[in-house]
Amino acid sequence: MHKKLIRPYGDTMNDGKVQMSFSLPVPCNAFGEEAAKQMALKMGLHDPAVVHSEALSDGFSYYILYGTVEHQINLDQISVVEVENKSMSKEEIEQFIDENFSEPLVFIGASTGTDAHTVGIDAIMNMKGYNGNYGLERYKGINAINLGGQVENETLLEKAIEAKADVILISQTVTQKDVHIQNLTSFIELLEAEDKRDQFIVIIGGARINHGLAKELGYDAGFGSKKYAFDVASFAVHALKEKHIKAKHNQ
């Protein structure tokens, strides 16, 4: 097999062994297990075996299956859009701000729309941060404003203008039926309708967010899981410096 062509492996390299799990609206019994196997076969697994099953409630059950896939992927054909600049430490970011900006930078953030989950935005903005990494409130040279959850797009923009924000941060956790896509698209449309898109660096984050999606939706950057305040701030301060340089050249 070509070294750039790969398959999943479980016991031996490229044996195609995979594990999958799902729930079905059927009772947890022999009939339910057979339904799970049939579903796995429809999904392309060979020789599926149910290794775990449990009842969720009346008429609903959960299954874990093992099986084999014959599909392979070519690593040479994979393209990933990533944030280009290198992340700096908190101290490096503070020094960068001190050397390049005359006033503190204003970062304003929220979980928008119907999203009430604030764990993500709190991890980036609140002083204590997350997993030993301080949030933006602790950074010298940054004024961090956390609006919390369930903030309407119009309210976020209004508060950003009022605070003379440099950076807008949006966290999206609720993603059922792609509601996050609709909400994020609406915010960019709002900025453009108000002729404010170029006024801010706009960054989004969440478990199902990546830089490629962010750029596609019209944002400056996107950060997924396992990203911290220093990742976001590193991108933002460099983007702001480039923005200011371009502004001076256009004067």
Are 121 and 113 spatial neighbours (Cβ–Cβ below 8 Å)? no
Q: Active-site residue 128, yes or no?
A: yes
Q: What is the 3-state secondary structure (H, E, C) of the chain?
A: CCCCEECCCCCCCCCCEEEEEEEECCCCCHHHHHHHHHHHHHCCCEEEEEEEEEEEECCEEEEEEEEECCCCEEHHHCCCCCCCCCCCCHHHHHHHHHHHCCCCEEEEEEEECCCCCCHHHHHHHCCCCECCECCHHHCCCEEEEECCCCECHHHHHHHHHHCCCCEEEEECCCCHHHHHHHHHHHHHHHHHHCCCHHHCEEEEECCCCCHHHHHHHCCCEEECCCCCHHHHHHHHHHHHHHHHHHHHHHC
Active-site option among 3, 42, 90, 128: 128
The rounded distance, in Å, linking the Cα atoms of 140 and 149 is 25
Residues recognised as catalytic: 128
